[in-house]
Amino acid sequence: MFSRFMLVLAAVLLVSSCAQINTQVLTDDSLGGRNNNTAGSTAAQNYLIALMANGGAVGLNSAATGDAAFKQPFTLGTNILGLIPGTDLAHEYVMLGAHYDHLGSCLPASGASSVCNGATDNATGVAAVLDIALHFSVPENRPRRSVILAFWDREEDGLLGSGFYTSNPLVPLGSTVGYINFDIQGANLLPSLRDVSIAVGAES
C-alpha cells in the first residue's frame, strides 16, 4: 500500500518540486530508518527510481534495463544511479551525490519511537539532489555536461557505497569532471552555526 502511495506521490512531486515533501516521505516511520538491506531501504530505492525515471533520467547501468538500470548492487547494499544526458559536452560528467541510508533504530527516550528517521542525515541531502534533478528535467534547463544523480547506500557503515562505485565506476572516472556531495542539509551541529552553511572543496 505504501509503495503505491510513494509512486503516486513521486508523480505529484515532479510538478510541485517540494524538497520538504521528499524529506517527509523518506523519513516516514514506515521506512524504518532506511537501514541497508531492509524493506525500508528497498522502498526508498523504489521512490528514488520512480522520481528519476518520471523526470526523464535514465539508469546509469547500461548493462541492465528497467529499474535495474538505476541500481548498482554490492554486498548488503544498493547504490541508486541516474543520468541526465548533456548536450554538447555529454561525454563529460558532473556527479551530484547524497547517501540515502540511515541507522534504522536508535535507543528511544521513554515512550518515544525507536526509529532513527534520518531527516538531517541525510534525507535533506537526497531531497536537494532531487530538486536539482527536477530543474534539469525541464528542456530549456538541459545541462551541457551529463549529470549523474548518485544516491549512495551504506554510508553509515563507512562510505561503503561510494567506495564501491569508485572501484567499480559505471562511467570512466577520468571523464567525471566534478562531484558535489550533499550531506546534513538544513541543520548544523552547533546552535551558533544555525545560519551558516559549510562548503568543503577538494581537487586532485
pLDDT tens-digit map of 80-109: 999 999 999 999 999 999 999 999 998 776
Identify the pLDDT of residue 3: 52
pLDDT tens-digit map of 113-129: 889 999 989 999 999 99
Q: Determine, yes or no, domain membership for 102.
A: yes
| Alpha carbons 72 and 86: distance in angstroms, whole number | 22
Identify the pLDDT of residue 57: 97
pLDDT tens-digit map of 35-59: 999 999 999 999 999 999 999 999 9
3-class secondary-structure state, position 63:
coil
Catalytic: which of 140, 155, 156, 203? 155
Q: Determine, yes or no, domain membership for 110.
A: yes
pLDDT tens-digit map of 142-157: 999 999 999 999 999 9
Identify the pLDDT of residue 113: 82
Identify the pLDDT of residue 100: 98
**pLDDT of 176 above 80:** yes
Q: Determine, yes or no, domain membership for 198.
A: no
Structural domain range at position 160? 2-192
Identify the pLDDT of residue 199: 64
Q: Determine, yes or no, domain membership for 199.
A: no
Buried residues in 156-193 as b, exposed as e (16+ CB within 10 A):
beeebbbebbeeebbbeeeebeeeebbbebeeeeeeee
Q: Output 19 or 55, whichever has higher pLDDT.
A: 55
Identify the pLDDT of residue 109: 64
Confidence of residue 112 (pLDDT cuts 50, 70, 90): confident
Hey, what amino acid is at 158? G
Told to judge if 155 belongs to the known catalytic residues of this protein, a careful annotator would answer yes
Identify the pLDDT of residue 19: 82
Tell me the percentage of the chain whose pLDDT exceeds 90.
74
- pTM, two decimal places: 0.86
Displacement of CA 202 from its chain's centroid (Å): 21
Q: Which three cell numbers, joined as nine digits, stand for 118?
A: 534520518
Q: Specify the number of domains making up the chain.
A: 1
| Alpha carbons 194 and 197: distance in angstroms, whole number | 8
Confidence of residue 203 (pLDDT cuts 50, 70, 90): low
**pLDDT of 191 above 60:** yes
Identify the pLDDT of residue 106: 87
Identify the pLDDT of residue 12: 45
What is the domain-level CATH number for residue 128?
A: 3.40.630.10
> Do residues 152 and 94 touch, judged by C-beta distance below 8 A?
no
Q: Determine, yes or no, domain membership for 86.
A: yes
